[in-house]
Amino acid sequence: MTDIKYAWSALGGDPALPARITTVEREGALPARLPVRQLARACVGVCALAAAELGAVRAGLDRVPEARVDDGAVATAFTSERHLLIDGRAPVSFAPLSRLWRTADGWVRSHANYPHHRARLLTALGLGEDARADDVAAVLAGRSALEVEDAVYAAGGLAVALRTPAEWAAHPQGAEAAALPLVERERTDAARARVLTPLDGTPLLPATGLRVLDLTRVLAGPVATRTLALLGADVLRIDAPHLPELADQHADTGFGKRSATLGLATGHARFEELLASADVVVTGYRPGALDRFGLSARALTERRPGLVVAELSAWGRRGPWGGRRGFDSLVQVATGIAVTEGCAREPGALPAQALDHGTGYLLAAAVLRALTEQSDEGGGRIVRLALARTAAWLTGADGGPARGGAVAGEAVPGEREVAAPYEGPGPWLAETGSRIGRLRYALPPLAFADGPRDWARPPVPWGSDAARWL
């Protein structure tokens, strides 16, 4: 089974449809020891196919439009945060205290991009808020990696010890993640089949008229909702007023969306008004974090029958780390990817935050497939994905497809083209003006017949829109 067929099967799609995907292969795109290019190609390919499938349903087409996935476009999109320029300025991806550190017995990776995460890291290490990287390095050099991992998480911060693939496989959370479906899919109620307004003309925008509440942060969730916005959805991102998003990060993932602030405790009535006419809710907070506000997937679908809820987590809902926060860089270190891409003495990294981007496109694809199913079967839907589960697919820990392509003797689905090597992002970059400045950005990698080529609007400043539907 190829990666594309594997991902499409996990989405519950018609096994004949991957033949509608043409892949354009370019050597040099996303170079790595692990098959990152194949995974990235599959995630984008099935997302484009899911969009084409929903578009065919809404436009009354007798055949699903052909989809095309180009390694060059995919490689550029998977590193979109590195290509963004705002008035000629390149964003800073990681804060000084977000990095790998040597410990007394190995390595640990911290994540401290947000001020509150930085403060909790320093508290766990017994350092003051004015501590610098040298101070952190000195403390960590005298402590074990596992001790640091436990102490920082106990303080509400983020740090994980470097593990080999074998060590992660033996860890209870590693076993839990590998045993999950790549895409968890659940029907929640018996709501009537969704009636979607017929579409005509071009571009074909399969999500036109759909309202998406975006309760996500960095990076996979916003990639998913950015993709739904590309396809015509009214995407309203909601953030707590006291937790501002990093401005550059918000710019990269904010294309096509609106951005509002709303306290979930004080703004409960307004949120319920939004929910009452929402079609999709996408959440990206750690499992259980939103439950106290009545925003668990089950509670949402009970109040809004027929709703599609898409949940994203770092480690999965269950297991000893089920309630922990996490980011792509941490998952790479915990799951053994950093050792595979480097070694235990000098850890490496993937050529992109591929777990984030790949899971984001899969999450968007899962939403699109749920909407297609609803148009025939009805019923609310919950879909769930986890970065650690995507990592298990990438590393082969889930027993999935033969890594890097098809099983010997099996034909690759669809057409295959071998194009010029990937020599840089140039052909897949664009520029536009915006309220936050002149932007250079990566174009969307989704391509299907008569589909959109770019977002309808640029990103807006964080929190600058009203919390209401258009």
Positions annotated as catalytic residues are 356
Q: What is the DSSP string of 208-244?
A: TT-EEEEE--SSHHHHHHHHHHHTT-EEEEEE-TTSP
SS3 for 398? Answer: coil
**8 A C-beta contact, residue 25 and residue 3:** no
**8 A C-beta contact, residue 159 and residue 331:** no
> Rounded to whole angstroms, how far apart are CA atoms 176 and 381?
23
**3-state SS, one letter per residue, for 316-377:** CCCCCCCCCCCCHHHHHHHCCHHHHHCCCCCCCCCCCCHHHHHHHHHHHHHHHHHHHHHHHH
| Cα–Cα distance list, 244 to 116, 223, 462 (Å) | 11, 18, 8
10 Å Cβ neighbour count for 22?
A: 17
Question: CA angle, 14 as apex, 12 and 16 as ends, to 5°?
Answer: 145
For 318, counting Cβ atoms within 10 Å of its Cβ (0-12 exposed, 13-18 middle, 19+ buried), the class is middle
> Rounded to whole angstroms, how far apart are CA atoms 298 and 281?
12
Supply 158's token pair.
């983020």
Nearest to 48 by CA among 81, 21, 16: 21
Place of tokens 């950015």: 226
Total residue length of the chain: 470
CA atoms within 13 A on the CB side of 311: 25
DSSP 97: T
Supply 267's token pair.
């703004």
- Strand 429-432 relative to strand 67-70: parallel, antiparallel, unpaired? unpaired
**Counts for the chain of helices (H) and strands (E), in that order:** 17, 16
> Rounded to whole angstroms, how far apart are CA atoms 304 and 194?
13
For 263, counting Cβ atoms within 10 Å of its Cβ (0-12 exposed, 13-18 middle, 19+ buried), the class is middle
